Amino acid sequence: MLKVKPIGSNMTELHTDQHVILFSYETPVAALRKGDHEYLRTDKFWSQTTSRHINKWLQGVEAQTVSQEYLYAFSK
């Protein structure tokens, strides 16, 4: 089941059975894998605003850096 949750200006969470995916504007930039509670963040720099979105969402949590393509695969 998919659930879309706006969490801030141009910040949205997409909840799936296996992931919570953070979108900044229309781009997936971070995720939480529910099975192992592993946080992931993109290796791509988009903008200062998107970086703020990611950092706000992670709130100091350690996150594994993954390729942008990896995060795109979650959102398909």
> Measured between alpha carbons, how far is residue 25 from residues 3, 42, 50 in Å?
17, 14, 8
Q: Could you read off the pLDDT tens digit of each residue along the chain, which spans 76 residues?
A: 789 999 999 999 999 999 999 999 999 999 999 999 999 999 999 999 999 999 999 998 999 999 999 999 976 6
This prediction's pTM: 0.94
> Measured between alpha carbons, how far is residue 64 from residues 31, 39, 41 in Å?
10, 6, 6
Q: Are 70 and 29 in contact (CB under 8 A)?
A: no
pLDDT value of residue 5: 96
Q: Are 43 and 68 in contact (CB under 8 A)?
A: yes
Count of structural domains within the chain: 1
Residue identified by tokens 């995060």 is 71
Domain residues for the domain of 19 are 3-74
